[in-house]
Amino acid sequence: MIDGVRLKVCGLTTLVDAEYADRAGADCLGFILYPKSPRYVSLRQFCDMAPRLPEGRKRVAVMVEPEASALADVLAAGFDRVQIHFRLEVGAEQVAAWSTQVGRERLWFAPKLPPEVDVPGWILSAADTILMDTFHRGGFGGSGQVGDWSKFQRHQAAHPQHTWVLAGGLNPANIGEAICSAGARFVDANSGIETAPGIKDHAKLRAFILAIHRAREAALKAT
Ligand SMILES: O=C(O)c1ccccc1N[C@@H]1O[C@H](COP(=O)(O)O)[C@@H](O)[C@H]1O
């Protein structure tokens, strides 16, 4: 927790970066188990790293429209949270099945929402945590594009019983504004703190965290 803001560092592929994220104060360490991602880690690679990963940080598996068997393997590997990206077309039945399998309290839903579409009730009722990522037609996440922060703010205000995670193109230059204008209290850093996909830039991560401190200090002074 950084001055009241929780941070997930996502797209980790190495122990060195996971340890750095831990020391910097990340609450969650994200691993992308999606073969088409340039940040892909296989379940085998994750399991090899797992015994040496920092303790006490939530380990988040990022998946795209997983089959039940793949999800079972991921749960057996000891992840604390599962972040599922999906198209709305998968429908309420599939969403409910993921919720039953994972459990709504450790499930993060990341629906692929066109700009004009709000998070539907059948998604809200199936998970406690919603990650709002930027819509991009060709993919599921990791676009590096900034989303609609006012949409995030509106959803967070309308559904305070949920935990809302802001994602999409967050970097040291914009995280301060994201926190102030979107009111985000849980943020996800991925491509905005990299030197190359899957390789974290430690200086950018430090700058990201400093920017969170500054934004929160400025907000406190203003009250
Ligand atoms: O990063 C990826 O390659 C990826 C692929 C498929 C699904 C999710 C992915 N990443 C997630 O996307 C968001 C935002 O990333 P960015 O900041 O825009 O790079 C983040 O939650 C990642 O977990």
Could you tell me the mean pLDDT of each successive run of 10 residues in the chain, 223 residues long?
Answer: 94 98 97 98 98 97 98 97 98 98 98 96 98 92 92 97 98 96 96 97 97 89 79
Residue 144 to residue 142: CA distance in whole angstroms:
6
Cα 196 to averaged position of ligand 1 atoms, centre (Å): 14
Nearest protein CA to atom 22 of ligand 1, as residue: 142
On whether residue 22 sits in a domain, the answer given is: yes
Mutation to probe ligand 1, out of 34, 83, 190 (largest number of atoms < 8 A from CB)? 190
Q: Where are the beta strands (DSSP E) in 157-197?
A: 163-166, 186-189, 194-196
CATH number at residue 143: 3.20.20.70
On whether residue 118 sits in a domain, the answer given is: yes
Residues ≥6 apart with Cβ < 8 Å to 205? 9, 20, 21, 24, 189, 193
On whether residue 143 sits in a domain, the answer given is: yes
CB neighbourhood size of 22 (10 A): 17
On whether residue 1 sits in a domain, the answer given is: no
What pLDDT does 110 receive? 98
H or E stretch covering 132: strand 129-132
What pLDDT does 218 receive? 86
What pLDDT does 220 receive? 78
What pLDDT does 138 receive? 86
Which residue range is the domain that position 115 belongs to?
A: 6-222
The number of distinct structural domains making up the chain is 1
| ipTM, two decimals | 0.98
Cα 45 to averaged position of ligand 1 atoms, centre (Å): 19
CA 97 to chain centre: 21
What pLDDT does 62 receive? 98
On whether residue 179 sits in a domain, the answer given is: yes
